[in-house]
Structure 1
């Protein structure tokens, strides 16, 4: 396993891209999934450049968090967002799978706040953009351990609705994975990742997940 802030093009046949708002647990998720030594910050936006993990010919990329970044000016935040878009556009052919990581319990409220300002939330923009460029994209709804049992399915229905996926969320289990990085409950996401790798005839990569 090789981890770095730069990537060598040689030997990479497919890429899994992780994107998400700052401080949703994206880097911690990658660390738990792949055992990678990813920089994990307690302050939003500590990761300002892509971080790559090379696993055989599979490249796992942790993109900078978008949205609020502690100590980062608005202009620089815009630059970071542009770099994310350009990276995806430049590598869309190689990126076989995207994973949008969200803070499950807060996601509907975040979307509604943006809607109240007549603005499209960047999470929604990113989800739509990845799909527009032909990248199969999963939703990892993190921090679901904070949700009461009787509120679990209704919350996931709301998440699906905000993403433009008509509820009930069970109809989208092939896209939505409720997880808890803190509790080590990643089974739904691991299952979806393996499903996609199997479709690519890459069962040999299961050992890394």
Structure 2
């Protein structure tokens, strides 16, 4: 019997190359947004990356774009304090959302981030998919479930991307996959494939690039 939420297959060579060229082309930081009126015009499709603080969002965006510091990586949880927009070619935005959950910041600041995050996810008409990043070492936590439920209610399709998959052995990975699949069955907006990645080793990066390139 086929498993629910299988791991996405690698793209065909021509798809992988087209996606590689897209991400090797112009990718520019556009702006950081701290309130909804600051959002750029909804004039192109966009995908966003959400995840707990220190899950590896910045490192993943850097790996996708082949740039070392287009999204500033940091070992300090909660360093991303705004919604960061990047242009991908002429037709797409990549959006780096504030890390949710624990953050090394005052409570009032964290609460402001969370409000902005929820407003964005609930009201952005050009948002085609949210990629919810889950640390493969830890699996889905309660705070991840909150974001997934918000995406369910907003009818925004989301796809789980497991990060840091190279940091654990095969047995631990299977446990994480089983837990993730079980949790996702409760979420109506969950896209029915998982993507396994390692930003350090490049695992899964072509698959994620091709997935984004195919969204029109």
Give the TM bin, normalised by the shorter chain: 0.7 to 0.9
Q: Deviations over 1:2-48 (max 9, x none)?
A: 213245327x3200011110000011101111235112111000110
* Structure-2 change in CA distance of 1:96 and 1:149 (3 Å): same
Deviations 1:65-103 (A, max 9, x none): 011111x12222111111101112231x11001100111
Aligned partners of 2:65, 2:122: CA distance in 1, in Å? Answer: 25
Q: Which whole-Å CA distance do the structure 2 matches of 1:132 and 1:197 have between them?
A: 26
Aligned partner of 1:127 among 148, 156, 177: 148
Cα distance between partner residues in 1 of 2:148 and 2:30: 26
Structure-2 change in CA distance of 1:124 and 1:24 (3 Å):
same
| TM-score, normalised via structure 2 length | 0.74
Q: 2:166 aligns with which of 145, 148, 157?
A: 145
Q: Tell which has more relative contact order, 1 or 2 (C-alpha 8 A, sep 6+).
A: 2
Q: Would you say 1:4 and 2:30 are equivalent positions? A: yes
Quote the Cα distance in structure 1 between the aligned partners of 2:208 and 2:71: 22
Contact 2:64 2:209 in 1 (8 A): no
1:11-50 superposed matches below 5 A: 12-35=43-66, 37-50=70-83
Instruction: Report the secondary structure of 1:30's partner residue.
Output: helix
The residue aligned with 1:101 is 133
Q: Which moved more, 1:139-148 or 1:30-39?
A: 30-39
After superposition, the CA RMSD in angstroms is 2.4
The offset of 1:197, in angstroms, is 4.4
Give 5+ residue unaligned stretches, structure 1.
112-120, 167-171, 203-209
Q: Which has the higher helix share?
A: 1
Is residue 23–residue 42 contact of structure 1 (8 Å, CA) maintained in 2?
Answer: yes
Q: How many residues align?
A: 179
